[in-house]
Structure 1
């Protein structure tokens, strides 16, 4: 009891000079709340015979609690999963030009919906319309907050209360169990399935068209492939069928790309310009996947249809703010210089990294990683592995890569290591594969920061 009486009070601790920086940074209320919890825990432990810590240890415990409470899960981490556009990790990393534009938009007032030439109210889409039309060859363009929203509003505007024809093999499910039939239902569009899972022919579409038909919906199967005995109708042929019937063709590209990926050593994906040139009346695609920008959904195509979409009351609910518009405009401008695109756009730069470059990196840092982990019973070796694009793009195609293969001697050791990596101030995420924790280094840019982060792993579950 004498020791407990000697324990400093909350007021005494708050008045201590060493506590002042915490109050200055986090506020008196937060520090007081956490200090009371620390002192209560010390009193409870003392009654079981645990020694009472001194003032310095109390302060250290207080700092640890406050920092843990204040830290955000939305903090930088090392994505060594091998998935470049990882949905759970925020997908595309923005170019420096996009980051700078977003910061400027956050810091100052901007003419978001003001026409500076006339002084009258303007449209926020105008900041992107010209760029999108230039890069895709479309008559007009608009933007919403993601591609699912783009499909939803396009379907609801053109086909509400009517029918849309879709190949059975294109009734996709995207992340989070969102299914195309569900989106169509929310848009008040009746789904008309044609063809079979693996084969759909032009006659299937033609036979399904009737007065209630509003459009044909073509969906790029970007997150899966059907192989073997297959058949699908090309976009150009679908456009001709739709045109003859006087209905619209909506081509949902999903991830979508503005450049031919083969120039970067990747597999071919249909570009937005190609879809427009084939005759699609509307094309929808994402902004934060292969395009390499912030989250957004684009709709490009016929001017009259875009105008109808912009008049849809849902458009206001799905609009994007000035920060994303600024970042997206800066991203799109990079596509005007395709020769330097891979240097300036992080998504393409990471996807285009050569395997020999990544292998040299793995050999360079392996000894440092081994020094940190071998004392805890783990073995570290370099390995050849394969990355994937992610976010539904080219799902069956992988990219040769290299990394580190970590193994443990005891059952559960790898799960324990993975948990310790996630608990680091800057977490490290790999993938558990075939009895090892594999760190694919394709996305590792900051080698020094990575080693420094790993050096703290003993304090986060491996002590």
Structure 2
């Protein structure tokens, strides 16, 4: 007789497991179909394990209670959302992989309201006729940037593609060789120009480009002059670039549009907040740019959006392009963007009311005080890991001001193992343990230690949540070490 087959027959029926009190309790929180799916998949796993083992009936652990617990654990996994909130303690404030800027409360409230109810999205309440969704934010953008008109799309990459296609398709786009940027996700300016239907005409050298280079490049095939903000790198040393007002003068003298991609974008003077200077759309418009593009979810601190402002004639051309509809924002993002822009217009303290700016301008003394409060409670959590509070430097992130750093403090977790490979294994397990917490903690591995930069851990509620869940860290760490060893 096949012993394994005989043991597999001892597995309970689906209905028998469903009748267990523990699973009956889960039916109060989850649908019957989801609980039944969990039971079936748990039993299928058990059958596969039995099929791959040569164990007799007496030695095989197939306790009923163990199967029930596996069903409950599977349900927890099935119902765990993929888009989970995390603690961003990486030291990168505006972190692309962690959703960039958190939204201000008015934007969150506006999104919830727009989600619950119909809104006047493309409906003109005054005339009773069809409206334009751009009107929800256009007047605010014009007020904040000094532009004549504005439109918005799903992100700044889309804004650049749309503007290039509308203004320069079938013609040459002239740009400095030092601004042929590549940003995350293989977004390369030459490829974007090609996709938009423009022919790339690069001028100057990598480190130095002069006004005469642009003058000499313009011809009957020129469609526009482009200037791209080098947001994710910096060229230093023997350098030269052409100021925006000079490029605007050259472009207008030759009758072609001048497009500036600011990348991150900012609507408040960062230098006045003690941060490194970042070009403002208002300054670029004042310098003579016909079209300016920038992001909504980086230094602006709002939702993901690509913002296009400039001369009315140019914006109208852009809005008539067929891609505009494909790249448009939905009602939730428009509601969040409008609310964020209203904060800039109405607040006397945007650095306090915009979370991204609040984190960037957080005083070093406050971060140090937080570290001193946390250190006593964390340094004894794990027997084989040393925890210290150290000076560190945060970065803005998402391609914003790449060479500038902000002084901060970090809790540094360093395994004590003597042997290098053992330390590396322990460090991997430690990082995994933090990621397994109810609200995962994301830090940064550097110099054989896990660094948790405290700049973005703000407010009493977040601090309390962070501390409260650390009681689970040791069990996750031990479980991770066990899996690593096996």
Determine if the TM-score, normalized by the shorter chain, exceeds 0.5.
Answer: yes
How far the C-alpha of 1:318 sits from its partner, in A, is 0.2
How far the C-alpha of 1:238 sits from its partner, in A, is 0.7
Match of 2:14 among 10, 17, 26: 10
Partners of 2:372 and 2:70 in 1: how far apart? 39
- More displaced, 28-37 or 285-294? 28-37
Equivalenced residue count is 460
- More displaced, 13-22 or 122-131? 13-22
Q: Which residue of 1 aligns with 2:464?
A: 448
How far the C-alpha of 1:69 sits from its partner, in A, is 2.2
Q: Which residue of 2 aligns with 1:428?
A: 441
Partners of 2:177 and 2:12 in 1: how far apart? 72
2:151 is the counterpart of 1:142: yes
Q: Which residue of 2 aligns with 1:378?
A: 385
Give RMSD over aligned pairs. Answer: 1.8
Partners of 2:398 and 2:45 in 1: how far apart? 46
Partners of 2:324 and 2:229 in 1: how far apart? 24
Seen in structure 2, the aligned counterparts of structure 1 residues 210 and 20 have a Cα distance that, compared at 3 Å, is same
Q: Which residue of 2 aligns with 1:363?
A: 372
Match of 1:405 among 403, 412, 422: 412
TM-score by length of 2: 0.91
Partners of 1:214 and 1:21 in 2: how far apart? 67
Contact preservation (8 Å) 2:23, 2:72: no
2:209 is the counterpart of 1:196: no
Give SS of 2:414's match. strand
Q: How does 1:202-221 map to 2 (within 5 A)?
A: 202-221=211-230
How far the C-alpha of 1:420 sits from its partner, in A, is 1.8
Partners of 2:10 and 2:213 in 1: how far apart? 86
Q: Structure 2: where are the runs of 5+ without partners?
A: 418-422, 480-486
How far the C-alpha of 1:23 sits from its partner, in A, is 2.8
How far the C-alpha of 1:6 sits from its partner, in A, is 7.1
Partners of 2:387 and 2:364 in 1: how far apart? 19
Q: Which residue of 2 aligns with 1:113?
A: 122
How far the C-alpha of 1:423 sits from its partner, in A, is 2.2
Q: Structure 1: where are the runs of 5+ without partners?
A: none
Q: Which residue of 1 aligns with 2:263?
A: 254
Deviations 1:66-110 (A, max 9, x none): 111221231001100000100000001000100000000000011
TM-score by length of 1: 0.96
How far the C-alpha of 1:214 sits from its partner, in A, is 1.2
Seen in structure 2, the aligned counterparts of structure 1 residues 230 and 8 have a Cα distance that, compared at 3 Å, is same
Q: How does 1:250-329 map to 2 (within 5 A)?
A: 250-329=259-338
Contact preservation (8 Å) 2:305, 2:329: yes
Give SS of 1:394's match. strand
Partners of 1:146 and 1:414 in 2: how far apart? 37
Contact preservation (8 Å) 1:417, 1:462: no
Q: Which residue of 2 aligns with 1:19?
A: 23
